[in-house]
Amino acid sequence: MTNLNMPEMLKTQLTDFFYELHRTPELSNQEFHTTQKIKDVLTQYDIRILDLPIKTGLVAEIGHGEPTIVLRSDIDALPITEQADVAYVSEHQGVMHACGHDFHATAVLGTAILLKQQESTLQGKVRILFQAAEEVGTGAAELVQAGVLEQAQAVFGIHNDPTLEVGVVGCKAGALTAGVDRFAIHIQAKGTHAARPQDGNDPLLILANIINIFQTIVSRRLSSDENAVLSITQVHSGSTWNIIPDTAFLEGTVRSFDAETRQRIEQQIRQILEGLATTFNAKIDLDWQPGPPSVMNDEKWAQFALDTAQKSGFEPRVVKASPIGEDFSYYQEQVNGAFMMIGSGGPFPLHHPKFKVDERILIPTSLYLATLVQDALIEIQDS
């Protein structure tokens, strides 16, 4: 069942397709041409496309009957001006595939074609997602809403990881990525002449207290076996040297790895701000924007993904959780599955203007994922 190989012509087609996507990146929710290009190839191979109420992205299906397995890729790019040393550099000014979603989409497209060529032997069906808007954290929820998890018994997805060497597949049971929350805080106090602070209420002093006390949340209020990151990333206030301003603003993010810690940090932030508002007699508004929760891999499927990686010629590696965010977690809230990190060989990190994926991993990843879903269908039927 797993003796897959790929004709040279298809390898060339996929490699060219990867270059094409990389040259023509599109931002979240604007992936119209990307969607059309994927659709064209799927149609060329007579792969059925589901009719869903979505503007960008698409979902294909291969095989028949049950069980159903879902395999997800993402397709959107980032507002970054590319500086990567590649021949197929972005032709869209200020937009770049700096997270490798062009690689994910192409690898999974390759898997779809491989599965189509073996459709008669497939022990169920595979639903293949080309998901829009991962970078803004809304695409997965939209597809869940559209019903793509109906009947699904397992869900798999990949992300490339430049911190892992080419040839490595990383995975782990439990939390693999962070829950990502964003907060913005508006302080309304009272401006005055810098020489007469007693006539006003200084928002900068309040801001300084918020920064200090927030940094006690992780260091003093979580236990040593709890894991989280809190970063304040921008502050704005004031206009000149001799006026105390009326207002101040700060913004930041919290990364956590389990639902309980996540909820507790939010509660503490609210409590600290209420206390400071009372202490300083000021108005402090919190805009709390929850992002996707942690990718939470099922124990059995994480091991299955690692075992299949080994069978497929990759080096399987149990990795540590990473503080990045990933909206694949919304699928896993409904259906068990695993998310795998495919080593893409650095040296530049994700979202860096010089980021690139080592293209040698493209075809092996298509083959790996085809083996994985074929074997997972059999595994479900046997269990």
Helix axis angle, 101-117 relative to 8-23, nearest 10°? 150
H helix count then E strand count, the chain: 9, 16
User: Binding mask 42-81 vs Ni ion (x if CB under 5 A, - otherwise)?
Assistant: ----------------------------------------
Identify which of residues 250 and 295 has a Cβ nearer to Ni ion in the complex.
295
Q: How far is the CB of 88 from Ni ion (least distance, A)?
A: 19
Q: How far is the CB of 140 from Ni ion (least distance, A)?
A: 12
Identify which of residues 68 and 73 has a Cβ nearer to Ni ion in the complex.
73
Identify which of residues 99 and 306 has a Cβ nearer to Ni ion in the complex.
99
Residues shown for the chain: 383
Residue 90: Cβ within 10 Å count = 22
Identify which of residues 214 and 328 has a Cβ nearer to Ni ion in the complex.
328
Identify which of residues 245 and 292 has a Cβ nearer to Ni ion in the complex.
292
Type of residue found at 138: T
Identify which of residues 99 and 185 has a Cβ nearer to Ni ion in the complex.
99
- CA separation, residue 212 to residues 206, 208, 219, 229, 273 (Å): 10, 6, 11, 15, 12
Kindly state the number of chain residues that form the binding site for Ni ion, as judged by CB under 5 A. Answer: 1
Q: How far is the CB of 98 from Ni ion (least distance, A)?
A: 9
- CA separation, residue 223 to residues 38, 228, 270, 341 (Å): 47, 10, 19, 29
Identify which of residues 105 and 248 has a Cβ nearer to Ni ion in the complex.
105
Evaluated on CA atoms 126, 131, 137, 138, the torsion sign reads: negative
Q: Is 309 in the site for Ni ion (CB under 5 A)?
A: no
Residue with tokens 């602070």: 197
Nearest residue relative to Ni ion (C-beta): 99
Identify which of residues 133 and 272 has a Cβ nearer to Ni ion in the complex.
133
Q: How far is the CB of 349 from Ni ion (least distance, A)?
A: 11
Stretch of 22-30, 91-99, 190-198, 202-210 contacting Ni ion, by CB under 5 A: 91-99
Identify which of residues 99 and 254 has a Cβ nearer to Ni ion in the complex.
99
Q: Is 378 exposed, middle or buried (0-12, 13-18, 19+ CB in 10 A)?
A: middle
Stretch of 31-39, 95-103, 118-126, 369-377 contacting Ni ion, by CB under 5 A: 95-103
Q: How far is the CB of 314 from Ni ion (least distance, A)?
A: 20
CA-nearest of 79, 121, 129 to 104 is 129
For 222, phi and psi rounded to 5 degrees?
Answer: -100, 155
CA–CA gap between residue 6 and residue 328 (Å, rounded): 28
Q: How far is the CB of 310 from Ni ion (least distance, A)?
A: 25
Strand partners, 183: 252, 288
Site for Ni ion in 213-272 (CB under 5 A): none
Q: How far is the CB of 135 from Ni ion (least distance, A)?
A: 7
Q: Is 53 exposed, middle or buried (0-12, 13-18, 19+ CB in 10 A)?
A: exposed
The structure tokens listed for 210 are: 């918020």
Q: How far is the CB of 148 from Ni ion (least distance, A)?
A: 19
The residue from 99, 109, 244, 373 that contacts Ni ion (CB under 5 A) is 99
Q: How far is the CB of 11 from Ni ion (least distance, A)?
A: 24
Type of residue found at 158: I
- Please report, as ranges, the residues that interact with Ni ion according to CB under 5 A: 99
